[in-house]
Amino acid sequence: MTASTQTLRIRAIRSIPLFGESPKGGWSAEIKPEDTIHALIAVHTDGGPIGYGSVFTDARLVAAGLKVLEPLFLGENALEPARVSEKLHQNSFWMGRGGTLTHTISGIDIALWDILGKVTGMSVGRLVGGRHRERVQPYCSLLMEEPKRMYDVIAEYRAKGFTAFKIGWGPFGRAMDAKLDDAIVGAARAAAGDKARLFVDAGASDAYWPHGLKWALRTAEMLKDHDVGWFEEALKPDAIDDFVELRRQSPVPIAGGEVLTRRQAFLPWLARGAFDIVQPDVTKVGGLSEQRRIAWLAEEFGVKYVGHGWNTALGVAADLQLATALPNVDLVEFIGGSPYVDGITAEPFRLDAEGWLEIPDKPGLGVEIDRARLARYTDDPSPLFA
């Protein structure tokens, strides 16, 4: 970096919604075509590159968050992502910690790291920790279906090259039928094959989850019989005491944490031993700066880190960069069939012959937004560009 590029001022930050083809969430209140649960962010500078980020929340909240944060980021140095993001956290605490503003800062932070990488000619992974690996295994994240349909869906994505799968939400637990739950998981295992990695997500952060600790314990025993690698969101998201007990008794590893935001919120869950695997979402917790700190904190407690930035191509790109920058990462989440992952970049992610993803080593996040393709999923993509 030359002396002339040591300062690059933020002149504007813009956002756009993604809607029209949001994949089903399996939620009680299902996503409608006109709903926007994902937003993209662009940080514009005074003469430098544009940086891009992603936020997992309603785009109307992101637009409001940017307006509130604008006095804090305008004119700031875009080449200091961790400092600028912390400034935004520290000076907005009184408006609520962990909600809309934290989500919005997530996208800003990712975009600032993207800029720093582009200016220095280095990938974000090299900047935040180095290159521990060149590729990583993605697990294909799919909704639960009735057993026959579940088998067919897993078989479809196995044919596309995936070798790890996660099934979640949908009728699992909701149908109040333990035999159906068993049959769904059994169908997924049969379709995936004995050698594939299989994970199960109950989705207990959904509205009015009907089960508690005893259901989770019985279900964990069933999952063991299908060689399930972890049991995710098995309990309501605030039931920390039950999570601690479930982890103590469960024969399969317990995963969670996607609903937590801010690094401080993760500390009691890690300190008390509530998780075997922690899953912070880079597009919600405060961005790459916060995600890295959470991952290192988890390492100190002997808890495995797996990122949850599955929701857009930019979220996946951020998770890939952290997957190389951290020493013990072997998985990234990859939602199956989402146009917001597969359909907005110039070069979509592609599996190699073994079903793994190469981690880009290009400047910044290593992906390029395709304006024409993006226009299919938003009314006006122009705020993201020059």
User: Are residue 164 and residue 20 in the same domain, yes or no?
Assistant: no
Q: Is the dihedral of CA 270, 274, 276, 280 positive or negative?
A: negative
Domain range enclosing 182:
126-358
Report phi then psi at 217, rounded to 5: -65, -45
In 3D space, the residue among 349, 348, 365, 307 whose CA is nearest the CA of residue 51 turns out to be 365
pTM of this structure: 0.96
Please say which residue of 61, 95, 121 terminates a domain: 121
CB 292, CB 326: distance < 8 Å: yes
pLDDT digits (tens, 9 = 90+) for 40-69: 999 999 988 999 999 999 999 999 999 999
Distance between CA 344 and CA 339 in Å, rounded?
7
User: Are residue 151 and residue 296 in the same domain, yes or no?
Assistant: yes
pLDDT digits (tens, 9 = 90+) for 159-192: 999 999 999 999 999 999 999 999 999 999 999 9
Number of structural domains (the chain) is 2
Residue 260: pLDDT over 60: yes
Residue 344: pLDDT over 80: yes
Look at residue 243 and tell me if it is in a domain. yes
CA distances from 339 to 4, 132, 153, 178, 349 (A): 39, 30, 17, 33, 12
User: Are residue 282 and residue 161 in the same domain, yes or no?
Assistant: yes
User: Are residue 290 and residue 185 in the same domain, yes or no?
Assistant: yes
Cβ neighbours of 379 (radius 10 Å): 10
CATH number at residue 104: 3.30.390.10
Residue 3: pLDDT over 50: no
User: Are residue 174 and residue 31 in the same domain, yes or no?
Assistant: no
Question: 117 falls in which pLDDT band (50, 70, 90)?
Answer: very high
Average pLDDT, the chain: 95
What is the structure's pLDDT at 162? Answer: 98
- What 3-state class would DSSP assign to 170? coil
Q: Which residues contact 2 (CB under 8 A, 6 or more apart)?
A: none
Residue 22: pLDDT over 90: no
Cβ burial, residue 278 (10 Å; 0-12/13-18/19+): buried
Question: 386 falls in which pLDDT band (50, 70, 90)?
Answer: confident
User: Are residue 167 and residue 27 in the same domain, yes or no?
Assistant: no
User: Are residue 182 and residue 319 in the same domain, yes or no?
Assistant: yes
User: Are residue 145 and residue 111 in the same domain, yes or no?
Assistant: no
What is the structure's pLDDT at 282? Answer: 97
User: Are residue 260 and residue 113 in the same domain, yes or no?
Assistant: no
Look at residue 381 and tell me if it is in a domain. no
User: Are residue 132 and residue 112 in the same domain, yes or no?
Assistant: no
User: Are residue 170 and residue 94 in the same domain, yes or no?
Assistant: no
What is the structure's pLDDT at 249? Answer: 98
